[in-house]
């Protein structure tokens, strides 16, 4: 920070202290962050559309399918080059990256993340990468809000809330759905639903949507109006759609992580680019609707125009057969997640939000067409309604965000009369999926490492607690070969503690000695040279390994051992002790911090 900037910051801090309370300043900052998130959303969208327009010349119109193969590869190559030679660090994977920052870095995000996705995501998607722009927008806004909160020296609870404000603002600006955006921030980032947190989220969401209205007018991503009313007799079909949504949600998550694991085992970024880029190019060449985000496909499906949605393909001559159409739509559901995973595995930057909507719309549309063409039921289903509800079902299952799914689809499509079927399908999809897949696609990786912050307040505090801050090192160590005399002269006399760790020549802890263990013999000087430490020591009830044990593991060890002090090791070497009383005090302090 320059001297001039520091002076301005000090003056502003003085003005803020004199004129604003912390709560008022938080309100003001949330509105500013919403405005910034709106600008980020507009910038990313416009950059992507500009790249797409550059690629849509006469050459592309005449030979479009040929370029479905080459363009995504070019976009991925440019993205990899920027990441490897420009940024020189990994960008991370959108929303999981933000969740990791909240879980393990106290909401602190690196400065390069403020612009990294802003550059690379438009290249990936603009050239046809099969991912969405929502996650890059959220992570960019979240990083900006994190660094702004650091600049103003805000505490962890406020920093986390402002990250949620950035997420709400980004989603509000992208979809023009302010209510769903607030619910998204609460469900995905596990924010507390209180008045203190609700008002900043509301201000950020409103500020962001006003910003995007100013720059892009009333244009929205999805264009659909509810034309068919909900009929009570169709409830069984919405229940069945929820079951199908849960099955595809489980399929989505497992395929996504299997392909990611495959690419993570490839060390060379060039090899990842070649393998993933070539496979993606072939897949998009064979199935052109997989090109890009896919909102054009979704809009065509919402208008029940499946011919335009499927576009030109190798089965074009057979499109008058409805079962061929149904098969092609089913193919979109199956292969979209493969295309998305290949894009990200090859080095592309993007998210899974748009692909989830894409798959959900194709699934709902396909489901309705199957029922209508079986010839069993007299009353046909509303294809557009099931297309909308299908998106909600898949969102609820994959993201574990049923409320976001319900309100987003209702706001996007003005389909508030569909609340009942939306609730039915989303609830069933979420309920079934969560039985087989306890964590969402965003949180599964963090959960597998024990680093997930959840709605469970106790688990959240344990995750945020910095265990190194409670380690006590003012214990006098004793060598395992020392004598009773050494214990008295070098331990008891010099230490204010009644506990002594026993270590060997390699600093490995081999036991502990309590003052009570030596009290019967400590005044008998005749035994000072005869009794050794190894004869008096006892085994530690438990040992805490900083490289392996999380805070919840440490709590469990205290509970099971009934000990008040446990030794701590790192890289197999003794470093200190943790006391139960100090750990519980730190827990209470952290609980106050995250709830203020």
pLDDT for the residue 455: 46
User: Nearest-CA neighbor of 206 among 429, 437, 27, 362?
Assistant: 27
Mean pLDDT across the stretch 1-7? 60
- pLDDT at position 427: 95
Domains contained in the chain, CATH given: 3-216 (1.10.3080.10), 232-449 (1.10.3080.10), 461-595 (3.10.580.10)
Q: Tell me: pLDDT of 223 over 80.
A: no
Per the CB < 8 A criterion, the answer to whether 142 and 362 are in contact is no
Contact 588, 581 (CB under 8 A): no
Region 218-246: mean pLDDT is: 84
Question: What does pLDDT average to over the chain?
Answer: 84
Query: Looking at per-residue confidence, does 14 or 232 come out higher?
Result: 232
CA 284/CA 277 separation, integer angstroms: 10
Q: Between 155 and 207, where is the model more confident?
A: 207
Model pLDDT for residues 372-420, shown as the tens digit of each residue: 888 777 788 888 899 999 999 999 999 999 999 999 988 887 767 888 9
Give 366's pLDDT tier (boundaries 50, 70, 90).
very high
- Phi–psi pair at 154, nearest 5 degrees: -85, 155
What does the block give as tokens for 201?
Answer: 């989220």
Residue 578, beta-bridge partner list: 471, 566
pLDDT at 250 over 80: yes
Number of Cβ within a 10 Å radius of residue 53: 10
| Element of type H or E holding 502 | strand 499-503
Model confidence band, residue 123 (pLDDT cutoffs 50, 70, 90):
very high
Per the CB < 8 A criterion, the answer to whether 444 and 397 are in contact is no
pLDDT tens digits, residue range 128-175?
889 999 989 999 999 999 888 888 878 777 888 889 899 999 999 999
pLDDT in tens, 274-302: 999 899 988 988 888 898 888 889 988 98
Weakest mean pLDDT among 144-148, 198-202, 302-306: 302-306
Kindly state the average pLDDT of the residues 583-595.
73
Write out the DSSP string of 402-425: HHHHHHHHHHHHT-GGGHHHHHHH
Pairing status of strand 509-514 against strand 544-545: unpaired
pLDDT band at residue 108, thresholds of 50, 70 and 90? Answer: confident
Grade residue 193 by pLDDT with cuts at 50, 70 and 90.
low
Q: Is the pLDDT of residue 78 over 70?
A: yes
Residue 10 is predicted with a pLDDT of: 63
Cα dihedral 384, 390, 395, 397, rounded to 10, equals: 170
Give the model's pLDDT for residue 387: 92
Place of tokens 């009942």: 420
> pLDDT tier at 195 (50, 70, 90 boundaries)?
low
Collapsing DSSP states into helix, strand and coil, what is residue 138? Answer: helix
Backbone angles phi, psi at 566, to 5 degrees: -130, 140
Provide the Cα torsion 415, 417, 418, 420; round to 10°: 150
Is residue 217's pLDDT more than 80?
no
pLDDT value of position 63: 52
What's the whole-number mean pLDDT along residues 557-564? 87
Q: 39-58: per-residue pLDDT in tens? A: 999 999 999 988 888 877 55
Report the pLDDT value the prediction gives residue 454, as an integer from 0 to 100: 47
Q: What share of residues in the chain are helix, strand, coil (percent, to 5)?
A: 70, 5, 25
> Taking a C-beta distance cutoff of 8 angstroms, is the pair 130, 355 a contact?
yes
- Nearest one of 200, 190, 133 to 169, comparing CA atoms: 200
Query: The tokens 């380690």 sit on which residue?
Result: 471
Q: Is the pLDDT of residue 365 over 90?
A: yes
Q: What is the mean pLDDT of residues 518-532?
A: 81
By the 8 A CB rule, do 412 and 209 touch? no
């Amino acid at each position: 920070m320059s001297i001039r900037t520091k002076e301005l910051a000090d003056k502003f801090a003085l003005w803020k202290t004199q004129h604003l309370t912390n709560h008022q300043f938080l309100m003001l900052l949330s509105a500013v962050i919403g405005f910034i998130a709106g600008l980020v959303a507009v910038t990313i969208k416009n950059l992507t559309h500009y790249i797409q327009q550059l690629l849509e010349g006469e050459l592309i119109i005449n030979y479009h399918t040929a370029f479905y193969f080459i363009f995504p590869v070019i976009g991925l190559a440019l993205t990899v080059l920027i990441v490897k030679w420009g940024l020189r660090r990994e960008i991370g994977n959108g929303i999981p990256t933000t969740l990791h920052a909240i879980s393990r870095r106290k909401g602190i995000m690196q400065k390069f993340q403020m612009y990294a996705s802003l550059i690379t995501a438009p290249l990936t998607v603009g050239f046809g990468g099969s991912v969405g722009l929502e996650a890059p927008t959220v992570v960019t806004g979240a990083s900006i809000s994190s660094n702004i909160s650091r600049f103003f020296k805000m505490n962890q609870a406020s920093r986390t809330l402002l990250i949620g404000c950035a997420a709400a603002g980004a989603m509000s600006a992208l979809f023009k759905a302010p209510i769903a955006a607030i619910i998204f921030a609460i469900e995905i980032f596990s924010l507390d639903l209180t008045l203190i947190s609700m008002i900043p989220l509301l201000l950020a969401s409103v500020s962001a949507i006003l910003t995007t209205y100013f720059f892009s007018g009333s244009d929205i991503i999805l264009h659909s109006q509810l034309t068919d009313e909900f009929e009570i007799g169709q409830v069984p079909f919405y229940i069945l759609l929820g079951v199908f949504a849960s099955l595809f949600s489980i399929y989505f998550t497992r395929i996504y992580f299997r392909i990611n694991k495959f690419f993570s085992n490839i060390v060379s970024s060039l090899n990842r680019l070649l393998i993933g880029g070539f496979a993606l190019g072939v897949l998009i060449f064979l199935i052109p609707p997989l090109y890009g985000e896919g909102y054009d496909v979704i809009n065509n499906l919402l208008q029940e125009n499946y011919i335009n949605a499927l576009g030109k393909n190798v089965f074009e001559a057979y499109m008058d057969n409805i079962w061929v159409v149904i098969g092609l739509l089913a193919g979109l559901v199956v292969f979209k997640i493969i295309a998305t995973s290949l894009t990200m595995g090859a080095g592309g930057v993007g998210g899974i939000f748009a692909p989830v909507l894409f798959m959900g719309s194709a699934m709902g549309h396909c489901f309705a067409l199957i029922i209508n063409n079986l010839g069993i039921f007299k009353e046909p289903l509303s294809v557009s309604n099931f297309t909308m509800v299908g998106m909600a079902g898949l969102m609820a299952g994959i993201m574990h965000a049923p409320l976001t799914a319900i309100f987003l689809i209702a706001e996007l499509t003005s389909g508030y009369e569909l609340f009942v079927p939306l609730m039915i399908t989303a609830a069933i999809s979420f309920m079934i999926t969560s039985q087989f897949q306890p964590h969402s696609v965003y949180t599964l990786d963090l959960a597998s490492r024990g680093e997930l912050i959840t709605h469970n307040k106790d688990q959240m505090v344990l995750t945020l607690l910095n265990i190194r801050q409670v380690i006590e090192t003012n214990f006098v160590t004793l060598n395992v070969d020392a004598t009773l005399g050494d214990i008295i002269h070098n331990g008891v006399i010099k230490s204010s503690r009644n506990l002594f760790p026993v270590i060997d020549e390699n600093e490995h802890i081999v036991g502990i000695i309590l003052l009570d263990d030596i009290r019967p013999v400590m005044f008998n000087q005749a035994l000072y040279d005869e009794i050794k430490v190894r004869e008096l020591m006892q085994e530690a009830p438990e040992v805490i390994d900083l490289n392996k044990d999380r805070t919840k593991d440490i709590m469990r060890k205290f509970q099971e051992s009934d000990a008040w002090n446990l030794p701590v090791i790192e890289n197999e070497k003794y470093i200190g002790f943790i006391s139960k009383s100090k750990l519980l005090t730190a827990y209470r302090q952290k609980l106050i911090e995250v709830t203020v």
